[in-house]
Amino acid sequence: MGYFNMSYMLMVMLPGMVLSGLASFLVKSTFKRFETVGTSSNMTGAEAAQLMLQRQGVTDCRIEPVSGRLSDHYDPRDKTLRLSEPVYNARSISAIGVACHEAGHALQHAQGYKFLQMRSKLVPVTNISSKMSMPVLMGGMLLMSLAPALGTPVVLLGVALFSAAVVFSVVTLPVEWDASARAKKAMVAANIVNGEEARGASKVLNAAFLTYLASAIASIMTLLYYLHRSGLLRAFMSRR
């Protein structure tokens, strides 16, 4: 009943690593492919994001450069859109796609998008539960091999803690998809990109979404594995 064994490797770790690796490779290769392709508007990523927000009436969002590659994000706490160096000043399809996607999060915040609000509320809970869940699960699995009556409630606690991370990863999916959908429409409506350029930007955004999808699938697989190993999944199915 160990925490780490071959079945865990074959059922969870290996498929999760393959999914994550493929998604990461795809987003990096797609970004690189369009990183050297310019647009007819010749806008930088920062300029494109600013125009997108202005056209939607959002004027209280700051746009700042941040170090790193693909470290772009929107912080709803201080309404700041932080764009990485390859995006902020770059004039490529990749830069504009990523910048407008992050601007999409700012629009979600300004317009009270429900899933973004839900994800923001889950952040502090997820930060705590993600640190505690694995140690608790490991301890619970060990206890179950020695004293099942003591181990079961500990595993249940670990599953509950890990479930918060799973919920967070699932809620993230509509948030990211919607931000990209807003960006795809706004880029064309504001003449930031033309039709052909928009297709390239869409490929960049779709590839990026796959990283979130892979993360959600890996989290769900891990949760199901521990439910199975603890016998809780079997017990639940037998009651139906």
Catalytic residue among 47, 102, 176, 197: 102
CA dist list (Å): 59 to 26, 67, 89, 192: 34, 24, 20, 18
Rounded Cα gap, residues 183 and 207, in angstroms: 14
Rounded Cα gap, residues 49 and 80, in angstroms: 12
Q: Can 102 be counted among the known catalytic residues?
A: yes
With beta carbons less than 8 A apart as the criterion, state whether 65 and 89 touch: yes
Query: Active-site residues: which are they?
Result: 102
